[in-house]
Structure formats: C-alpha cells, structure tokens
Amino acid sequence: MSRVLVTGGSRGIGRAICLRIATDALARGTLPKIVVTATGASSDLQDVVAALRELGAEATAAPGDLNDPSFPARLVAQAGEFCGGLDAVVHNAGGAIAGSLLKTKVQDWDTVFAVNCRAFFLLGVAAHRPLRQSKGVLCAIGSSAAETVQPYLNAYAPAKAALKMLVQQMAYEWGPHGIRVNCVSPGLTLSRSTESVLNDPKEQERTGAQIPLRRIGYPEDVAGVVAFVLGPDAAYLTGENINVDGGLRHIGTESLLNGGSADWAAHDAARLRPESA
C-alpha cells in the first residue's frame, strides 16, 4: 500500500504510522505517496511531511478540522488527486475531553464522537470509490478503552466502542467490494494524549512494571501492526480489532496512572473543545 491518507499524523502514533508506511513501501521498491492531516497547520505537521520527503516519499500536508462534517470528503478528494488514487486510509485522529459523565457537556460529547467515530464513517464513504478500485484498506485507530472501563473517559470510551462496531459494519457491507476494514487499538502508549504523565522515564518504568509485558507502549509498536494490517500478509483479515496493549485490557489503568490521572484528563480538552465552548 503506497498511496495513503493518514489523519492525526503530525505527532506520536500518527507520525510513526506515516514513517513506517513510507519505509515499508520504499523497501518494496514502490514510491510512497502520503497525505497527512491534522487540526491546524502546525509545525509538527510540516515536520512529518519533511521527514517523509527526506526518506524519499512524496508527501503533503492537508490541515483541517474533522469536526466539520464537510471536511472528510474534501480531504479524500485532495488525497486522491495528490496520490493518483488511494490504497489506504488510516484514521488516527482522535482524543478525549475527559471528565465524569455528570459533568459532561452535550457539545463535548458530540465533539468527541465526531472526531473519533463519525469522521471515520465520513472518510470511509468518501473513499469508497477509490478504495474499491484499488481493493484497498480502511484502518481505524481505536483504543483499549473500548473494552475496559477507565477513569475520566466519559464520551471517549463509548466513542471508541462505537468505532469498533462501525469497523465491523463497514467490513460486512464493503467486503464484497474488495475493501478490507480493520481496527488497531493501542493500550497505554506514549503519545500526545499521555505525554503529560508518561514523559518522565521513572513514571514510564513504574507504569510499565504493572503491565503484563512490563513496559508501556510506544508509537512504533502501533505503527508496526498498522503496517501489517495494510500489507499483503493481512489480505484475508477484515472486520477485526487488534489490541496492541501489552495485555493492559486485562488489568485496567486507574492504578497505573495513579495521581497523574487528573493531568491526563485535562490534556486533550483545550485541543478538541471548540473555542466557543
């Protein structure tokens, strides 16, 4: 898969996915063409495009807000034009406006569902024709929160659970069209959402010691599984959710994040909440 659109690709897991896709395509002797999007034209978005070009890929940035229901179709059209078609769409964009259910605003609930779940639906519908032509792949980045109750994940956990079911529905309906649809669900991974409490190596060690594989996850762990899902070895895989969590879903996260939970809960709010809120 060398013609790929990646949402939420400017940092962390998304960046690692972009670089892994490019590296694998080049290793196969094909030219990767990658469109990367994130909310706003940040320096991080330009940096990942520059890194992709340095590797030898053709890449471009397409900033925009996936809360806008008209943006996914425009994004897919732009990606198809740049790439000359599409082989895959990876929806990594997401995040939480975390807190307790009793304190959750309807606007925040809708925003979290829009970014994490609705955007994947709209991207899939918009990309259906080019992916049908290429026998391509849709890959959603989910979360272990879809299967385990965790603190502060009022709308986020239900949104990721809905995303997992949406993947199954898409796989069922679009399998006859040659389109594969799968979900890759990270556990506690060092990323934009968790860096406020996991950047400290001592905290990483303390937290990782309680996970069955005795470490936290890193963006490259997720990117490797995404590369498999997009690649030829997964040609008969569709409608699946692959947990990349070191076994975390068997124990939960409340005790792991400890006193840092409140810091994590507040981290994504400013980024996702509309300015008018």
For the annotated catalytic residues, the residue numbers are 143, 156, 160
The tokens describing 62, both together, are 């397409």
Q: What burial class does residue 106 get, using C-beta atoms within 10 Å of its C-beta: 0-12 exposed, 13-18 middle, 19+ buried?
A: exposed
Instruction: Report how far residue 32's alpha carbon sits from residue 53's, in angstroms, rounded to the nearest whole number.
Output: 10
Contacts of 136 (CB under 8 A, 6+ apart): 1, 86, 87, 88, 89, 127, 130, 179, 180
Which tokens belong to 186? 């990270």
Distance of CA 126 to the CA centre of its chain: 18
